[in-house]
Structure formats: structure tokens, C-alpha cells
Amino acid sequence: MERRLKPDDPAWPAAKRLVTTVGQQRYDLDATGVTIEITMTLLQYAPGAAMPRHSDNQHEGRRGSLLAAAFGQPQPRIPRTLFACCFYLTDPSQYDGGGLVIDGYAPMRPELGEAVFIRGDVPHSVSEVTRDRRHVVKVAVMTPAIGHATAR
């Protein structure tokens, strides 16, 4: 049984510190008069790491994103995630735990090379990794937050 941590769990502060942003790249594109941001982030989940239930847009209206907040990295503006795609870089036999839980569905552990698309408003979480490491590349497609859009 996979353990699902919640933000009020005493183990949560230590667990979120174990999710490492190995690298991140941001691209700004202008498509049909609206700026689109694409970020690619390599995430490493060490034993004890987890991500609480959230939607990528739940931080809208606050300063910074959920991932930035988890790593103490402020962002100058608040993007709105249209969708994210997670590419799995670790075979699920190489780690325990770390299941992706999308509300309404059973936990999943995608195979090496598989990808999962998640709309920005869909709640999801990652259960605690209990053995070895889980690596994922997350590509997020975002628009500026409402009130911050750059029309051309």
C-alpha cells in the first residue's frame, strides 16, 4: 500500500525537500497574439519524497508556483498551466512507491518512456517513494495569469 502524504502530515516538510529540481528551462513563444510559456523540468524523487494533492492551477492568484514554493524559488509572475506532460525516465521496477494519483483513478506507475498528460485544473498527487529514485521530465504549457496576458 502506497503512503499518500498530505501537507499537514509531520513528514511533509522533509518529503517535499527530497524532490529535487535537477534542471529547468523556460521558453517564451508568441502564438496568435498571446504569450505562451513552456517549461521543462527534470524532477528527481528520492526515498521519502512525495507531492501532495494539488492542481497545477491551484496557486493561481498567489505569488509563485507550487513547485517554486516547494523549493523556495519565487517567480516574478503567476502563469496559468493549460496542461502538463510528464515523461517517465525510470522503469517502475527500479523504485517503490511514487505512484501518480489522479483524482478518480487508481494510482499509476507508467513504464519507462511513457508519458501522461494532465490538464492544469485536474487534482493529482505523487505518493511517497520508498526505494531508489523516480525521475520525470515535466513539460508544462502555460499562459500568463488572468490580468497579466500580453495581447499583441
Q: What is the pLDDT of residue 57?
A: 80
Looking at this protein, which amino acid is placed at residue 102? I
Q: What is the pLDDT of residue 92?
A: 96
Partners of 75 in the beta sheet?
Answer: none
Q: Please state whether 14 falls in left (phi above 0), alpha (psi between -120 and 50) or beta.
A: alpha
Q: What is the pLDDT of residue 58?
A: 67
Q: What is the pLDDT of residue 67?
A: 54
Q: What is the pLDDT of residue 148?
A: 41
Q: What is the pLDDT of residue 26?
A: 67
pLDDT in tens, the chain (152 residues): 445 555 566 665 655 556 666 666 666 666 566 677 888 888 999 999 999 888 888 654 444 455 555 555 554 445 578 899 999 999 999 999 999 999 889 999 999 999 999 998 899 999 999 999 999 999 988 886 544 434 33
Q: What are phi and psi for residue 69, nearest 5 degrees?
A: -65, -40
Pairwise CA distance, residues 84 & 12, whole Å = 23
Q: Grid coordinates 525516465 are at which residue?
A: 89
Q: What are phi and psi for residue 39, nearest 5 degrees?
A: -115, 140
Pairwise CA distance, residues 132 & 42, whole Å = 16
Angle at 110 between CA 109 and CA 113, to 5 degrees: 150
C-alpha distances in Å from residue 66, one per residue of 93, 113, 132:
28, 25, 24
pTM confidence score: 0.69
Q: Is there a contact between 51 and 44 (Cβ–Cβ < 8 Å)?
A: no
Q: What is the pLDDT of residue 150?
A: 40
